[in-house]
Structure 1
Amino acid sequence: MGKEGGGEEALLPLFETKEARFRGAYKVFASTVFVGICLIWVYRLTHIPRAGEQGRWAWIGMFMAELWFGLYWILTQSCRFKVVYNYPFKERLSSRCKDTLPSIDIFLCTADPKKEPPTMVINTILSVMSYNYPPENLSIYLSDDSGSELTFYALLEASSFSKHWIPFCKKFNIQPRSPSAYFAQQIDIQDITYAQELLAIKKLYKEMENRIDSTVEMGEITKEIKDQQKGFSEWNSKVTKQDHQSIVKIMIDGRDKNGVDIYGGRLPMLVYMAREKRPQWPHNFKAGAMNALIRVSSEISNAPFILNLDCDMYANDADTIQEALCFFLDEKRGHEISFVQFPQNYDNITKNDLYACTFSVITNVELAGIDVYGATPYCGTACFHRRESLCGKVYSKDYRKEWNIEDKNNTYKSINELEVASKILASCSFEKETQWGEKMGLIYGCSSEDFVTGLAIQCRGWKSLYYNPNRMAFLGVAPITLNDVLTQQTRWSEGLFQIFLSKYCPFIYGHGKIKLGAQMGYCIYLLWAPCSLPTLYYVIVPPLCLLHGISIFPQEKWSQRMCQRGMSKKS
Structure 2
Amino acid sequence: MESRLFATEKFGGRAVYRFHAVTVFLGICLVLYYRVTHVPGSGAGRAAWLGMLAAELWFAFYWVITQSVRWSPIRRRTFKDRLAARYGERLPCVDIFVCTADPKSEPPSLVIATVLSVMAYNYPSEKLSVYLSDDGGSILTFYALWEASTFAKHWLPFCKRYNIQPRSPAAYFSESDKPHDLHVLKEWSFIKGLYEEMTERIDSAAMSGEIPEQIRVNHKGFAEWNTGITSKDHQPIVQIRVSSVISNSPIIMNVDCDMYSNNSDSIRDALCFFLDEANGHKIGFVQYPQNYII
TM-score, L = length of structure 1: 0.47
Higher relative contact order (CA 8 A, sep 6+): 2
CA distance in 2: counterparts of 1:203 and 1:49, whole angstroms: 69
* Aligned with residue 28 of structure 1, among 19, 25, 35: 19
Question: Given that residues 105 and 297 in structure 1 are in contact (C-alpha distance below 8 angstroms), is that contact kept between their aligned partners in structure 2?
Answer: no
Give 2:160's aligned residue.
170
Question: Given that residues 175 and 317 in structure 1 are in contact (C-alpha distance below 8 angstroms), is that contact kept between their aligned partners in structure 2?
Answer: yes
Cα distance change of structure 1 residues 55 and 333 upon mapping to structure 2, 3 Å threshold: same
Cα distance per residue 1:256-307 (max 9 Å; x no partner): xxxxxxxxxxxxxxxxxxx36xxxxxxxxxxxxxxx4993488611122222
Task: Name the SS of the counterpart of 1:69 in structure 2.
Answer: helix
Alignment of 1:74-473 (within 5 A): 74-184=64-174, 185-190=176-181, 192=183, 194-236=184-226, 238-241=228-231, 243-246=232-235, 275=236, 292=238, 295-296=241-242, 300-344=246-290
Cα distance per residue 1:384-428 (max 9 Å; x no partner): xxxxxxxxxxxxxxxxxxxxxxxxxxxxxxxxxxxxxxxxxxxxx
Task: Name the SS of the counterpart of 2:284 in structure 1.
Answer: strand
Code of the aligned partner of 1:226: R
Cα distance change of structure 1 residues 41 and 212 upon mapping to structure 2, 3 Å threshold: closer
Unaligned runs of 5+ in 2: none
* TM-superposed deviation, 1:341: 1.7
Unaligned runs of 5+ in 1: 1-8, 247-274, 277-291, 345-474, 479-571
* TM-superposed deviation, 1:105: 1.4
Question: Given that residues 110 and 257 in structure 2 are in contact (C-alpha distance below 8 angstroms), is that contact kept between their aligned partners in structure 1?
Answer: yes
Question: Given that residues 140 and 209 in structure 2 are in contact (C-alpha distance below 8 angstroms), is that contact kept between their aligned partners in structure 1?
Answer: yes
Code of the aligned partner of 1:122: I
CA distance in 2: counterparts of 1:130 and 1:46, whole angstroms: 62
Alignment of 1:492-531 (within 5 A): none
Q: Give the paired residue count.
A: 293
Cα distance change of structure 1 residues 221 and 55 upon mapping to structure 2, 3 Å threshold: closer
Cα distance per residue 1:491-550 (max 9 Å; x no partner): xxxxxxxxxxxxxxxxxxxxxxxxxxxxxxxxxxxxxxxxxxxxxxxxxxxxxxxxxxxx
Question: Given that residues 141 and 293 in structure 1 are in contact (C-alpha distance below 8 angstroms), is that contact kept between their aligned partners in structure 2?
Answer: no
* TM-superposed deviation, 1:45: 3.4
Code of the aligned partner of 1:15: F
Cα distance change of structure 1 residues 57 and 223 upon mapping to structure 2, 3 Å threshold: closer
Task: Name the SS of the counterpart of 2:226 in structure 1.
Answer: coil
Code of the aligned partner of 1:314: Y
Task: Name the SS of the counterpart of 2:285 in structure 1.
Answer: strand
Cα distance per residue 1:9-44 (max 9 Å; x no partner): 9x5211111111211111111111222222233333
Cα distance per residue 1:60-79 (max 9 Å; x no partner): 45444433433333222222
CA distance in 2: counterparts of 1:19 and 1:224, whole angstroms: 59
Task: Name the SS of the counterpart of 2:148 in structure 1.
Answer: helix
Q: Is the radius of gyration larger for structure 1 or structure 2?
A: 1
Give 2:35's aligned residue.
44
Cα distance change of structure 1 residues 236 and 66 upon mapping to structure 2, 3 Å threshold: same
Code of the aligned partner of 1:159: S
Code of the aligned partner of 2:3: L
CA distance in 2: counterparts of 1:173 and 1:97, whole angstroms: 23
Give 1:534's aligned residue.
none
Cα distance per residue 1:465-486 (max 9 Å; x no partner): xxxxxxxxxx3235xxxxxxxx
Question: Given that residues 240 and 246 in structure 2 are in contact (C-alpha distance below 8 angstroms), is that contact kept between their aligned partners in structure 1?
Answer: no
TM-score, L = length of structure 2: 0.87
CA distance in 2: counterparts of 1:142 and 1:123, whole angstroms: 12
Task: Name the SS of the counterpart of 1:78 in structure 2.
Answer: helix
Calculate percent identity across the aligned residue pairs. Answer: 54
* TM-superposed deviation, 1:133: 0.4
Task: Name the SS of the counterpart of 2:103 in structure 1.
Answer: coil
Give 2:63's aligned residue.
73
Task: Name the SS of the counterpart of 2:129 in structure 1.
Answer: strand
* TM-superposed deviation, 1:58: 4.7
Cα distance change of structure 1 residues 140 and 54 upon mapping to structure 2, 3 Å threshold: closer
Question: Given that residues 111 and 258 in structure 2 are in contact (C-alpha distance below 8 angstroms), is that contact kept between their aligned partners in structure 1?
Answer: yes
Cα distance change of structure 1 residues 47 and 76 upon mapping to structure 2, 3 Å threshold: same
* TM-superposed deviation, 1:212: 2.5
* TM-superposed deviation, 1:322: 1.0
Code of the aligned partner of 2:272: C
CA distance in 1: counterparts of 2:60 and 2:86, whole angstroms: 50
Cα distance change of structure 1 residues 182 and 54 upon mapping to structure 2, 3 Å threshold: closer
Question: Given that residues 178 and 185 in structure 2 are in contact (C-alpha distance below 8 angstroms), is that contact kept between their aligned partners in structure 1?
Answer: no
Cα distance change of structure 1 residues 294 and 229 upon mapping to structure 2, 3 Å threshold: closer
CA distance in 1: counterparts of 2:12 and 2:219, whole angstroms: 58
Cα distance change of structure 1 residues 299 and 61 upon mapping to structure 2, 3 Å threshold: same
Code of the aligned partner of 2:12: R
Give 1:476's aligned residue.
292
* Structure number with higher helix proportion: 2
